[in-house]
Amino acid sequence: MLRLPRLGFKPSPLARIALGLGLAVLTLMLMAQGLVAVAVDHFTADYVKRFMRGTVDVLVNELRPLDHKAREARIRQLDQTFAYPVSLVRMQDLSGARQEQLLRGELVVAGLNRRVYARLDPKGDAVLQLGPLNADWQPGESWQLPRELWLQLLTGLALSVAVMGLAWWLLRPAWRDLRELQAAADQISAGHFDTPLPRPRSRLFAPLAHAIRSTLQRLASALASQRELTGAVSHELRTPLARLRFAIDALIDEDDAARREAQVQACERDIEELEGLIDASLMLARLDTGALSAKPEPGDLTELLMQESDSLRPLLDGKDLSLALKLPDTALPFDAQILPYALRNGLRNAARHARSRICLQAWLDQEQVWLAIDDDGEGVPEALRELVFTPFKRLERHRRSRGFGLGLAIVRHVAESHGGEALMQRAPELGGARLLIRWPQQMPPGR
């Protein structure tokens, strides 16, 4: 099997693109020139026939009476006199189609350089040939393109080279950006998420680089949150698991029925605590990674707040819950599936720290929907108000309270998924803490 030798030089993809564009332009020009040549060939042949008819008739009438030697001598004289070659050829040396035309007494014009053929004798084999009519033709050259065609070819070649250079100049920055982005993507796929993205030199890949950079930032934040959440969950699981193990060990040797029942109830409380921790952790993880996102739709927010507050009253440890809902009758945007998570966690957090009173308020202001959950507890110092939204972060004064420090983190994620935010302030009337949630009254397009 014959194998072609491999070339040592392998052009880059960018060079192949530029070369392909140049060859495409050259091919198109040649095709256009060929189509034009085919279209005008018939007309130029007719023009040459009319233009050369008089000269040919004069020469034929002069050469026809002469014998063979005299004809050759006269042909040599004419060849020296005319600006184009004059010669004699045999009929049998021409193609069949040209012979048929000559036998019909027609004047034949053929070739790119335009050769004119005329039969000298009706019964003889001699044919007069004039041309090539191209002024650049030199003796001894049997085939030569006309000057016009050469100029067209050179113009097409120059234009294709110009297109190649322009394509190389225009595509080189984009190609360099693409290769750098590819190298960065390879590093990222290998697990190096801290790989810096190159700054694009072309506007073509600037939006792509910006989108990738934003995606990496969100991915890095999600991974950091996942690591923090995993570590915090592992830490929080130790206490109920240790209590469960101790209670189970105690049940084995416990004979007293009352104490056995107390240990069983303790195990049930620990199991409920574990279930609550797992549910809250999963909810926070889904909100943090975007697996659970809000899809606000117009609805009756007042009705939702009243239903949720009524369902949560038995879980507020006997604290008094009052409502101050000042919302219009018009529909407001919210996600009826996700917003209740924020309300439940916010009200339960208030119930854990309130002395006796909780107030749920709602109103509209500056094209924003506002929800406030106030309590009459100790409140949160201003320096620590942002920390309460950190997962598993519990302040020193609240460490003995039930909970895992996930409720307010879930509230903030729900608010942000609605395009808003959650803040911790001081309750103006009750004097304790105020959990403030707000989001736009008109959702932006695409949410």
The answer to whether the CB of 119 falls within 8 A of the CB of 127 is yes
The answer to whether the CB of 128 falls within 8 A of the CB of 53 is no
Cross-strand bridge partners of residue 365: 368
What six digits make up the tokens of 346? 């916010």
Q: What's phi and psi for 121, nearest 5 deg?
A: -115, 135
pLDDT exceeds 80 at position 138: no
Which among 190, 187, 376, 189 is positioned nearest to 198, based on CA atoms? 187
Count of CA atoms in the C-beta half-sphere (13 A) of 366: 3
Considering only residues 239 and 113, tell me which one the structure prediction assigns the higher pLDDT: 113
Considering only residues 275 and 239, tell me which one the structure prediction assigns the higher pLDDT: 275
Helices (H), ranges, 290-373? 301-312, 339-353
Which among 346, 347, 366 is positioned nearest to 414, based on CA atoms? 346
pLDDT exceeds 90 at position 372: yes
Is the pTM higher than 0.85? The answer reads no
| pLDDT at res. 435 | 93
- What is the share, in percent, of the chain residues with pLDDT greater than 70? 63
The answer to whether the CB of 295 falls within 8 A of the CB of 422 is no
| pLDDT at res. 177 | 73
| pLDDT at res. 227 | 61
| pLDDT at res. 205 | 60
Residues 6+ apart with CB under 8 A from 391: 225, 228, 229, 232, 284, 405, 406, 409
The answer to whether the CB of 325 falls within 8 A of the CB of 306 is yes
How many Å apart are CA 406 and CA 286, to the nearest integer? 13
